[in-house]
Amino acid sequence: MISWWQSLTFARRSGAILLALIVLAALFGPAMATDPVSQNLDRVLRSPSLEQPLGTDHLGRSMLARLVHALQLSFSLALLSVLSAAAIGISLGLLAAWRGGVIEAVLTSIADAVMTLPVLLVVLLFSAFAQGEFWSLYVGLSFALWVEYFRVSRATIKATLVSAPVESARMLGFGNLYLLRRHLLPELAPVVGTLMLFGISTAILALAALGFVGVGLRPPTPELGVMMIELFPYYEEAPWLIASPVVTLGLIMLALALLGGRKEMP
C-alpha cells in the first residue's frame, strides 16, 4: 500500500487527496449539517460567518448544508450510473468478443449508434420520460456511458483471447472461467479504472448541466446545477454564494482529472 502510494506521481497524489476530502464531505457532511431545505426569510443572502461558513442563500437556507447534500447526491448518482454502465458494458463486451459473429455485429452497431449521440443529449432524452426524477437521470446516464466500457473491453478481450498466455493456459487444460478470472479481468482492470474516473466526472458534469438549464432535478433539491441557476440572479450582491457550487464542481473535475490523468511513461 505504501509502495503503491510512493509509485504515484505528485499530480496523482494531489488528485487522490483532493478527491478523498471531497468524498469525505459528501459521505459525512449531510449527517452533520442542518436541514438543507428549511428556509429562514429573516436572514437571506448573509455573508460567510462562523455560524454559517458559506453564508445563506436568497431564501435564508444554509449554503454549507445545501452544498454537502448536493455533493452526496451528485456522487451517489454518478457512482451508481458508472457502476451500472461498467457492469453492462463489460458483460456485453465479453459476450461480443467471446461469441463473435452476429452477436458481435449487432452489439457493435448499437454501440456505434449510441456513440454518435452526445452524452448530454441521451440523458436529456431519457429525462423527458419523467422530468426531474432521480431514476430517469440514472437510466439516461447509464445508457449514455455503457458504450465506452463495451468498446474498450471488447477490444482488450479480443486481443487477450488470441494472445500466447491464453493459448498456453488453454493447452494446460484451464477452462473459460479461469481465463476470465486470471487473464481477462486483470488486463481490463487498469483501463476500466481510468475510464470509471472519467465516467464519474462526465456524469457529475452532465447532472449539473441539466440542473442548470432546468430539466434535471427540481428545486428545492440541493444539486450543484440547480444551486447555480438559483443563485445566478444574486451574483452581484452576493458573489460568494454562486462561487461555492462553481468552485466545488471545478475542484471535483480537477481531482478526477489529476487522479485519472496521464500515466508516467515507462
Partner 1 sequence: MSAPELKVQDLAVKDGKGNWLVQPCNFTLKPGVALSIIGGSGSGKSLLVHAIMGSLAPGLRASGEIRLGNAASRAEDAAGRRPWWGHTLAMLPQEPWLALNPSMRAGKQVAESYRYVSHARMDMAQARAKARSDLDQLGVAAADGKYPFMLSGGIAQRVAFAATRAGGAQVVIVDEPTKGLDADARDNLLTVLQSVLQNGGSVLTITHDMHVAQVLGGDIMVMRDSNVLEQGPAQQVLENPQHEYTRALLAADPEHWPPATPGQGTGKTILQARGLGKRYGAHTLFSGVDLEIHAGERIAISGPSGAGKTTLGNMLLGLVPPDQGSITIAPGLNPLKLQKLYQDPVSAFAPRLTLKQAFDDIIRLHKLSPATLPRLLARLKLDEALLRRLPSQVSGGELQRLALARILLLSPALIFADEPTSRLDPISQQETMDLLLEMAAANETAVLLVTHDRMLAGRTMHRQIAIQHA
Binding site for partner 1 (CB under 8 A): 163-165, 167-169, 171-174, 178, 182-183, 186-187
User: At closest approach, how far in Å is the CB of 149 from partner 1?
Assistant: 20
Nearer to partner 1 by Cβ, of 118 and 186: the residue is: 186
Nearer to partner 1 by Cβ, of 100 and 186: the residue is: 186
User: At closest approach, how far in Å is the CB of 172 from partner 1?
Assistant: 6
Nearer to partner 1 by Cβ, of 174 and 235: the residue is: 174
User: At closest approach, how far in Å is the CB of 208 from partner 1?
Assistant: 37
Nearer to partner 1 by Cβ, of 57 and 187: the residue is: 187
User: At closest approach, how far in Å is the CB of 177 from partner 1?
Assistant: 11
Can you give the three-state secondary structure of the chain, one letter per residue?
CHHHHHHCCHHHHHHHHHHHHHHHHHHHHHHHCCCCCCCCCCCCCCCCCCCCCCCECCCCCEHHHHHHHHHHHHHHHHHHHHHHHHHHHHHHHHHHHHHCHHHHHHHHHHHHHHHHCCHHHHHHHHHHHCCCCHHHHHHHHHHHHHHHHHHHHHHHHHHHHCCHHHHHHHHCCCCHHHHHHHHHHHHHHHHHHHHHHHHHHHHHHHHHHHHHCCCCCCCCCCCHHHHHHHHHHHCCCCHHHHHHHHHHHHHHHHHHHHHHCCCCCC
